[in-house]
Structure 1
Amino acid sequence: MFTAVPALLTAVALFAVWLPARRATRIHPADALRHD
């Protein structure tokens, strides 16, 4: 139990970081700067 909770929280945190990072890799940098 003491290892399951931190492992679950780590998995949720990695998924929460991975999703926006994956989405950001699909955008061309010039397009991102143009919309800024």
Structure 2
Amino acid sequence: MKMADDQLWSDFLVGRIAAPIAESQPLRAKSLLGGTML
């Protein structure tokens, strides 16, 4: 259960960090996050 919580937390942090970047630099964010999102 702990690992699942850690995964959710890391996904949440990535989302919080990636969202503003994606809004200001969509192409760059897409290339940076492409590997993790797919």
Question: Given the two structures, how large is their TM-score scaled by the length of structure 2?
Answer: 0.59
Q: Answer with 1 or 2: which has the greater Rg.
A: 1
Q: Give the percent of matched residue pairs that are identical in Structure 1 and Structure 2.
A: 15
Aligned-partner residue type, residue 24 of structure 1: S
Q: By percentage of residues, which structure has more helix?
A: 2
Give unmatched runs, 5+ long, in structure 2: 27-38
Match of 1:17 in 2: 17
Instruction: List, as ranges, runs of 4+ consecutive aligned residues in structure 1 with deviation greater than 4 Å.
Output: none
